[in-house]
A and B are shown apart, each in its own frame.
Chain A
């Protein structure tokens, strides 16, 4: 499984879409969520993906995050064609090299704040001590300093706090790629700015960040903006 990440650093190209389409077959007719998209992302980029609702942004992010595979075309991540990877290999890729920050936080309600952040660490390292990183470190890095909150369940936290927990969880395994689906969508401006500053810092520290947003101001933090309409890339500043 480690072979998937072994080539990291050697090749500046992190991932490449070649004529990738994603079709959802529905009874009422197929939905073409992505239509022959071609795109190259290099390591260390900070990309904002924008576009109207239903244009295919989340679908694109899910493909990059190995949560889904293309209907047609080639998607190469870390020099490996995802079509050739098994479900387990895709899972290992997600677990070890990709951090997800979802629009709706998607924390696990059964687990406390600390356990939510610790969970991917346990999956990856088995032995909690062996990872170097601790959930506390990740939570502090995500700006959640108040340790009294760590034993709370996610639903006892504010939206901004939950988003920070979600960010800490995405960071804890020190992924090389951060995927964010509207990371500030549910937050007030002040908290949103704090989160964006945090992401900017992560990017400076070498992480590749791909972020979906509706907000032009938020998109301004990124170094490259991509516009999607009806499953096609309309504009790409990169």
Chain B
């Protein structure tokens, strides 16, 4: 493969105080915080830090609420019921404070050009993805962080005690391996959208959750993993905000009653299943609103302008694309205020971590994910730096061993390197269909899980990648693991709460007012938080 001279030369063995996996908002805020705490930091992204991940492509509203008691109270109260009362007000306060500080820093030192409102003050409630993330890259570089682009992490390294001591990965454009010994590692690899092509998410295959589980960490809230977003049919653009100005129709042009962007999304799903098509027209936007939409989110219009559709006057077909845990809330369990996990030396931030702490079991709409990414990133980065400092030079002298298993070190006879494609297809078949994942029912979840468990058993035995694309096998394994944690948890939660809606248990059950933890790889367990883990049959 040819390479460009802008890339740094081949690097095989590095040492750092802090290693950050990922290159989105969570990773860049983590790298900044660690560097500002005096740590020597290496950040590696699967893609390019600045364009990779859900924020860079999409842009986000941010939970930016000035510290006025009444406004803060309203902000906290607004989501508690939707999230099934699984959030924690103390964490909301922390995230609101940290997000307020980070966004102000982005406006100040970061010189992000927030628009000016009628009152002459900047409006800081949202960011355009490309602009935000190119500025974060520049800041991270100026802070002295070494960035490895196109360098997916493949696995964690641990010392004899099980503490995380570094990572191994590959530089895909150079087809060479790399290894970083580090005092602490931050996982900021995003959520998992199962390669659905929802905007910017195909790099988000849940890798960090797999790494964490291999190191012995738990996950939380994995039943809250069935976010689906509206997009013009056959496109990737899952930008949903402006559909609040839309009317939805049957294919024959009659109005589809009850269909809407949030509450009525299940109506859209049912109609897509029953009738094969749903049409949409953004017919409730005045000319002024139309103009504001173009200024606010230009990427919303890319499909329309390029396909020659006027979305305000013409009906166009829509679909729902899975966004899994990207706009769900499940992820690696956070064990402390500093975003530590239960494994020493391992920290988690952004979509890789659970967001239940601030929004319980629901997030679609509300800017919490963006706020969480920057806040948790800052905390994880600072704490990782402290951890590394406390270890001092001993960190570099530790005996290290690799932790990667599925997709990397098959337990049986290695299969064909192209096998990852079949695994991806098998997982997608169980997690993308609306009738399995979105409109959940025990009768459909159970066989889907059986199929996923069988996929896991087979991949564990033989899946292995090769060459520069060998991280594909790890992605496939991560997706399969993710799907199994999701459905084990979804079956265990025999009620409807947050975004997890069970047709066979349509009510919220006060006896299940707790978070669900899950974990394990060959044998998956699920347990209520704070109770001891019990194994469930897989």
Asked if A and B are interacting partners, one says: no
Interface residues of A (CB under 8 A from B): none
* Residues of B participating in the A interface, judged by any CB pair closer than 8 Å: none
